[in-house]
Structure formats: structure tokens, C-alpha cells
Amino acid sequence: DAGVIQSPRHEVTEMGQEVTLRCKPISGHDYLFWYRQTMMRGLELLIYFNNNVPIDDSGMPEDRFSAKMPNASFSTLKIQPSEPRDSAVYFCASSSWTGLNTEAFFGQGTRLTVV
Amino acid sequence: EDKVVQSPLSLVVHEGDTVTLNCSYEVTNFRSLLWYKQEKKAPTFLFMLTSSGIEKKSGRLSSILDKKELFSILNITATQTGDSAVYLCAVEVTSGTYKYIFGTGTRLKVLA
């Protein structure tokens, strides 16, 4: 498996524009997590899905953020409208509830810059 | 609120030194504690700890968990410049489903 795949790797956008980040989890994994990483706050959990169903979105900072998982192999995180304070690295991670080895595997991240 | 705290925030050592990184936690429904290494890209998995007092080792890295005192340490012996990275501690919590709460990390720099 190629691992967790995120796109784009880098995104530069102007304030007010819509931004869509994409993630393809590892095949067979039933959990998908979206994290945001900044120097000040570290890795913050934004939302996570189990079997494509959103379980906990309490980490989503505002209504400007939304996430979907239409099927087991694809998820999006959308920011509309974007603001400069949204600049960060956004990671997608997936894992499998095997009962033994449940570590999360991370994608390479999307570095978002809002100017 | 679930909380994971790492210390120190940053550390600079010389090659050959031994370092100890700390992770303490306050969470409900603890399942396991994980250590990750992050260089300039995605965090990569190092260890998962579920039982107190049992050391996990991988080469020069080792880690142990104390579930009574709610902390873990990550030791790196004979450090090398390639060990320079951010080391992240995460706690897996479960209540039907499960998720990972991360600390802010310890930034380690190893000088030649």
C-alpha cells in the first residue's frame, strides 16, 4: 500500500477563498483523522470518522471548516472562507481497530498558507 | 478535558549524549500511549505502550509507561545527528470509538 495520500502538498491562497484538502486513507483502515499542526498548538485533532461516519467534530475551530467522507477511500476537509490564521500544516491519518496494533499512519501533510 | 503534556519543549545535546523525554497525561478511558518521531514531514510511529513497567526497545531507543503516575519516558542513548527531530507523545482514548490526543512535542537537536 502507498500509505496515506494527501493532496495538494502545498496550497497558497488568498484570504476569503475556498480551500479543499484531500485524503486517501490506507485501504482497509476504518478510522480517518484530520489534524492541524502549528508551532503554537502542536497537533490538534479536528475531526475523525469511523466507517465513513463523523464521530467527533468538536475540534473543528469554526463553521468555516467542514469535512466529508463519502466513501472508505476518500475524505475532504474544506475551509470556506479561508483566513490567514488558518495557515498551518494539515495532516490526515488512518488506522485500523485490530485490538492490538492501532497506531495511526500519517500522510505527508498539506502546508496551507493563506495570504 | 483530555490533556497530554510533554517536556522539555526543546533540547540541544551533543552526539553521544543520552536524553530522556517526558510525557504526562490526564485523560479518561486510556487505552495506550504512543511515541512518534517527526522530521520534516509526517510523524512516523516508534512505540505503543499499553502495560505499566514493561520497557519497549528499538535499537538505541527505549520507552516505558507508568499508568499509576500517568507518565511515560522515551530514552535515546548514544544520540546521533539523525536523531534530531520532534518527538511526539500521543494517548489513545476510547469510549466505543477511539482517537489520539497529541502533546505539543519535544524538539531535539543533536550537534555533531
Q: Give CA–CA dist B36/B71, Å, rounded.
A: 16
Question: Rounded mean pLDDT of B101-105?
Answer: 94
**Angle CA B13–B14–B18, to nearest 5:** 70
Residue B53 has which C-alpha cell?
Answer: 513497567
The mean of the pLDDT values for chain A is 94
Task: Look at residues B7, B2, B10 and name the one whose alpha carbon lies nearest to residue B73.
Answer: B7
Does residue B97 or residue A59 have the better pLDDT?
A: A59
Confidence of residue B94 (pLDDT cuts 50, 70, 90): confident
CB contact under 8 A, B88 and A108: no
Q: Give CA–CA dist B81/B26, Å, rounded.
A: 33
Question: Rounded mean pLDDT of B59-74?
Answer: 95
Each residue of A42-72: b (16+ CB within 10 Å) or e? bbbbbbbbbeeebbbeebbeeeebebebeeb
Residue A22 has pLDDT above 70, yes or no: yes
Evaluate whether A50 touches A31 at the Cβ level (below 8 Å).
yes
CB contact under 8 A, A102 and B92: yes
Residue A1 has pLDDT above 80, yes or no: no
pLDDT tens for A23-42 read 999 999 999 999 999 988 88
Q: Give CA–CA dist B62/B57, Å, rounded.
A: 4
Residue A99 has pLDDT above 80, yes or no: no
The mean of the pLDDT values for chain B is 94
3-state secondary structure chain A: CCCCEEECCEEEECCCCCEEEEEECCCCCCEEEEEEEECCCEEEEEEEEECCEEEECCCCCCCCEEEEEEECCEEEEEECCCCHHHCEEEEEEEECCCCCCCCCEECCCEEEEEC
Among B43, B97, B101, whose Cβ lies nearest the Cβ of A45?
Answer: B101
Instruction: Say yes or no: A33 contacts chain B, CB-CB below 8 A.
Output: yes
Instruction: Say yes or no: B4 contacts chain A, CB-CB below 8 A.
Output: no
Residue A1 has which C-alpha cell?
Answer: 500500500
**Bond into A81 cis (ω within 30):** yes
Question: Rounded mean pLDDT of B11-19?
Answer: 97
Distance from CA of A89 to the nearest CA of B (A): 10
Ramachandran angles phi, psi of B82, nearest 5°? -70, -10
Confidence of residue B25 (pLDDT cuts 50, 70, 90): very high
Say what percent of chain A tops pLDDT 90.
85
Q: Give CA–CA dist A87/A47, Å, rounded.
A: 18
In the prediction, which pLDDT does A80 show?
97
Instruction: Say yes or no: A38 contacts chain B, CB-CB below 8 A.
Output: no
> In chain B, positions 79-98, which contact chain A (CB-CB < 8 Å)?
88, 90, 92, 97-98
Instruction: Say yes or no: B40 contacts chain A, CB-CB below 8 A.
Output: no
In the prediction, which pLDDT does B51 show?
87
In the prediction, which pLDDT does A100 show?
67
In the prediction, which pLDDT does A102 show?
81
Residue A81 has pLDDT above 70, yes or no: yes
